[in-house]
Structure 1
Amino acid sequence: MAENRYTSSWSEIVEVTKHTKIEYTFRLAYKGDVKPGQFFEVSLPKYGEAPISVSGIGEDTIDFTIRKVGRVTDAVFENWTGDRLFLRGPYGNGFEVSLFKGKELVIVAGGTGISPVRGVIEHFYRHPDAAAKIKLIAGFKTPDDILFQDDFRRWQERLDVTLTTDDNLGDATYRMGLVTEYIPGLEIKDLAYSAAVVVGPPAMMRFSTKALLERGFSEKDIWVSHERKMCCGIGKCGHCKIDDKYVCLDGPVFNYSVAKDFID
């Protein structure tokens, strides 16, 4: 009998971390292979399901950083440690960290775009010798909107981290400015052995990739994640189809040489 790809299974919530008033990370029990950048369909009976990117991969656990913005996520936020959610997945293509081995890697993330790349950052934080250099540029609206603050403090110990806000709310300890402002001055030893990852709102990704290209990066060395409009997760509903690509199947992670032509 063929496998039913719509079948979900219960997963217990083992930890909940609050980041902001509307953004929490739910750590769920899970055994299986997962790549950073992949996603699951998270659901609750009577409320529906939503595609959520994996924001962390642990030993028999996975993290989902969820924003409370609608019917499904409102229901998810009523659940705490010991409760259970339905999961099906993982789906889509994630980030192949092996492609960045030995290279100077630049990661540019805007807002919740830090979630899909958190697994990539963690990989190189735990294996600092696996890459020649890691440069993380992350931007948020205000200090109150920063996700994974404890992680940022850890990452700054080993990685080159630039954390910036659009408005620092009068707190001079936080930098101000768009992430694109920090791209032209990137110190790269050899662009032939460099790579970049860009994840965030569409406008932020558009101008960040433009700045990286102007800095000298080639299209084939830039990776982006398109996560908008996904619905079923398995290429049946067609909501996420862009030209001949299905974001849920061919993505969400795309090489920029392909994604540059997307009309989104």
Structure 2
Amino acid sequence: MLANEYLPFLTEIKEVIKHTDIEYTFRLTFAGDVKPGQFFEVSLPKYGEAPISVSGIGNGTVDLTIRRVGKVTNEIFEHFVGDKLFMRGPYGNGFDIGNYQGKELVVVAGGTGLSPVKGVIDYFAGHRDETKGMTLVAGFKTPRDILFLEDFDRWQQRLNVILTVDCAAEGSACRTGLVTQYIPQLKLNKIEEAAAIVVGPPLMMKFATQELLKRGFQEENMWISLERKMCCGIGKCGHCKIDDTYVCLDGPVFNYKKGCQLID
């Protein structure tokens, strides 16, 4: 008998971590293989389901960082430690750690775009000898919008971290400016061999990848992750289709040479 690919399973909330007023990380029970950049469909009866990227991978748990922006996510925020949620997945291809091992790596992330790439950052923060150097350039609107503050404290001890905000309050210690203005300042030994990951709002990714190309990064050494309305997650509904590409199946992580051709 064929398995029902739409059938979700129950998961338990083990921890809820508040980042901002509308962005929490839900640590959920999960036993199985999962990679950074993949996503789950999280659902609640009567409310529907929403695709949520993996922001952390633990021993028997998976982290999903969720922004409270609609019917489904509003209801998820009414659930607490010990409560149950439905989810199915993981879906998508995710980031392959092997693509970045042995190279200088630059990660450029904007806002909630930091969530799907957080697993890559965590991995190399714990395995510094597996890269020739890693730089994280992360940007947020204001200091109040910064995600994973405790993780930034840890990352800054192990990686080269540039944390910036578009607008800082008076007296704030945050750097200001868009992530793109810090790309020309990056110090790299062999740019033509370096790897880069760019995730964030579409305009931010457009201009960040342009700046990386100006610096001499090769298209084949750059990866992006696309956000789409991935309703089914298995390439059946067509909501995420761009030309002949299904983002939920072929992505959401794409090598830049392919990703730059996907135009809505």
Instruction: Report TM bin, short chain.
Output: over 0.9
Q: What code does the residue aligned with 2:97 have?
A: V
Q: What SS does structure 2 have at the residue aligned with 1:42?
A: strand
Query: What's the CA shift string for 1:129-172, capped at 9, x where partnerless?
Result: 11110100000000000000000010000100000000011134
What residue number does 2:181 align with? 181
Question: How far does residue 191 in structure 1 lie from its aligned partner after superposition?
Answer: 2.1
Match runs of 1:1-264 below 5 Å = 1-264=1-264
* Runs of 5+ unmatched residues, structure 2: none
Distance in 1, matches of 2:89 and 2:229, equals 17
Query: What's the CA shift string for 1:155-203, capped at 9, x where partnerless?
Result: 0001000000000111341000000000012111012331000000000
Distance in 1, matches of 2:171 and 2:109, equals 22
Q: What code does the residue aligned with 2:23 have?
A: E
User: Which aligned runs of 4 or more in structure 1 are off by greater than 4 angstroms?
Assistant: none
TM-score by length of 1: 0.99
Distance in 2, matches of 1:231 and 1:216, equals 37
Question: How far does residue 84 in structure 1 lie from its aligned partner after superposition?
Answer: 0.7
Q: What code does the residue aligned with 1:247 have?
A: V
TM-score by length of 2: 0.99
Distance in 1, matches of 2:227 and 2:6, equals 19
Query: What's the CA shift string for 1:46-85, capped at 9, x where partnerless?
Result: 1000000000000000000000000000010000000010
Q: What SS does structure 1 have at the residue aligned with 2:262?
A: coil
Distance in 1, matches of 2:223 and 2:163, equals 20
Q: CA RMSD in A?
A: 0.7
Percent identity between the two aligned chains: 64
Query: What's the CA shift string for 1:18-71, capped at 9, x where partnerless?
Result: 000100000001100000000000001110000000000000000000000000
